[in-house]
Structure 1
Amino acid sequence: MLSAYAADSHRYWARGLMAHLETIDWTLLELAPRHFQWRVRGNPLSFMSEHDATLSQSFDLVVATSLVDLATLIGLYPHLGRARRVVYFHENQFAYPLGQDQRTRIEPLMVNLYSALAADRVLFNSRWNRDSFFDGVAGFLKKMPERVMPTRLEALKTRSEILPVPLWSLPSSVSIRRDAPNRIIWNHRWEYDKNPEDFFAALEMLSDSGHEFELVVMGQVFRNAPDVFEQARSRLARHITCWGHQTRERYLEALGKGGIVVSTAWHEFQGLAVMEAVQQGCVPLVPERLCFPEYYAPQYRYDGGRDALIERLKRWLDSPESRPGPPDIGAWTWPQMTARYRAQLQPLA
C-alpha cells in the first residue's frame, strides 16, 4: 500500500483496509503530509530514497492513493507493473478550489491522470468525486495545445467503482449521550477549502441575535490556519466549550455528547468528519452541493449560502422538536463494506 500524503483521513482508511482485509499480507509505505507541491511531484524520489529495498521486492497487489505518481514508480520499478494495480481517490485535483493568490498547477492534475491510466482499477469515495474527475480531465485536455483523449481513459470509466471510506465500528468504551442539543460542532481541517468564514459568520449572527448555544471546534490544525479561527475564538468566547485539536479519545467523547455538526465546505468528496459525528449521534447540517446529496436526505441539507445556514440553525435552536434525528449511516461501516472492498482487491479469491 502506497500513500504519498498520509493525512488523517488517508491513514484512517489505510489502517481500516489492513485491519479488515487481514488475509492480505500488507506492506505499508507512506510519506508524511507536508510540502504538498513537492510531495505530489517528488514522491517517486522520496519512495525510492526511503524504501528502495522494499519496492524492489515482488508484490501481487499494489494499492496506491491518487497522489502517488504510480506511472513513474512503475517506470522505476518495472516489476510493479505485473501486479494488480488499484488507485484510490480520496479527492481529485481537478475539482480542488483555489485559495487566494493560488493558481492552477498542472503537475498535480497530471499525476492524478497518469496514476489513473496506470491502474487496473480506480476507486472513488463518491459519485461526485468520480464525475468531477472525468469531467475535469475532459475540460483540462480541451485546453491543451494538442487535442488528446486517450481511448484508455474512456475504458477506465468502466473499470471504476464508487467505494466510500468505511467507518470503524465504535469502541465499546465510547458513550453516546446526546444530551447537549444546542451544541454546534466544527470538526474539519482548519483550512480555507472548508470555508470557515461562512461558519463563523453565521455563528456570530446567531450570537448577536441572542441565541444561546455551545460551540465545539475541533479537527486537524495546521501551522498556517486561516486567521478567522483566532478571530472567532475571541468573538465567540462565551459560547466555546471545546477548542483545538484533540486526542482521538477526547474527540470521540466530545462528539458523543451530541449536537449539530455543520459543514460549509467548498471542497468535500465524502465528508468523513461529518460521518464520524453522525455515527456518534450528532445531527448533520450540510450544504446542497458536492458529495452531500449522495449521503444525506433533504432535511439535513440547506440550499443556499450563509443566510440559508443561519435560518436553519435559528429554526433548530428555537424549536428543537423541528430537528430530525441522526440519519442511519450503518451502511458505510466496515462490517457492511468489507466484502465490496475484497471483491475489488482480491477478485480471484
Structure 2
Amino acid sequence: MKKIKDLKNIVLLVLSIFFVFIIYILIARCNNAKPNENTKHVLNENTKKTTEEDINLKYVPIVISTNNNYIYPAVVSMTSLLENSDKSVFYKIHVFVSNEFSEKNKDKLLWLETKYKNCCLEFVDMKNMFNDAFVSGHVTKETYFRLKIPSILSEEKKCIYLDVDTIISKDLYELYSFNIEKYYIAGVPDRIRGIKDKERENNLGVPLNRYINAGVLLFNLEKCRVSNIEMQFEKFINERKEISLHDQDTINAVCYDGIFDLPFKFNVQLCCDLSNESPKGVIKKEWDEGIENPVIIHYPGTKPWNSLTWYATKWWVYAKHTPYIEEIRLKYKHSH
C-alpha cells in the first residue's frame, strides 16, 4: 500500500510540474516582444490570461495606432479582425498610444480580451514622441508611430500594421505568412496617389508603380533593424519638414527598393468609385478578386462612420458587434 501511495505522490508531483511549465510558457508567449529598454516605453500590464489550449495556436503580432478621438474606429476594426479570425490563430495586438490616451478608452479596447479567447492586448505609451512632426487635415501625430515598430517590437521577426479605418473580412494568417525575407516591408500599391501624382514621383524619387499605401503593412522587422531603417526614417523626416503624405511618403522614399507588392485584396482602398479599371501596379485579376472578395477593406478617404460610402454598411455591422453601439450611434448620429 505504501508503494502505491508513493507512486501516486510521484504522479501528482510530475503533473504539478508539467502544469506549472505550461502556465509559464503561456505567460511568456503573451509577454514576449517587449520593447527595447532603450525606448523607455511603458506597457500596460493588464493583459488577458491565456488558457491551456492557446499553447497550440499559430501566432500573429498586430500593431495599431490610435487616440481618444479614434477609439470607436479602433474597437470596430479589431472586432472585425477577431470576429473573422481562425480560432487556431492567436493575435497579440500592440496598441500604440500617446500619453493623453485615457484609461476609459483603454478599457473599451480591453473588452476584446473578454469576448475573444484568441487575443491579448498590450498598450505602448509613446509619450511625447513625434509631437513636433508635421501634420495636416485629419492626420495626427499617431500616424508616425508605425515608424518606430522595428525597435519597439524588438523580439519579433515580422508583424502586421493596420490603420484603424479598416474592416478585416478574413483571417490574416495568410498575409502574415508571405515570405518577405529579402524585403523591408510589404504593401499594396496606393489606389490614387501612386497613379496620378507625377509631382510626388519627382519630389520623392519613387517610381509611381512602387508607391504603396501605408494603411496595411507587413514588416520584416529583422531586416529593418539590421539596416537601421528607423534612423533613415528620422533623417528623411528632418530633411523634409512638410512632406505631404507624412509617414506614407517617408516609408515609400526610404524603403522603395525593398518593397514587396501584396495582392490588392489585402488593402482594398475605398477612396474613390470602384470602377472596372485596375490601377497601374495592380494586376487585373488581383483587382477583380479584391473587389469581389476583399480581405481588408480600407477607408482612407470618406469615413463610413461619417457618411454613406462604399461598404459603409459593413462597418456598421461590426459596430453592432461591440457593446458600444449606442455610444457610436450617438457620436456619429448624422451618418446612420
Report the TM-score, using the length of structure 1 for normalisation: 0.28
Q: Which has the higher strand share?
A: 2
**Relative contact order higher in (CA < 8 Å, ≥ 6 apart):** 2
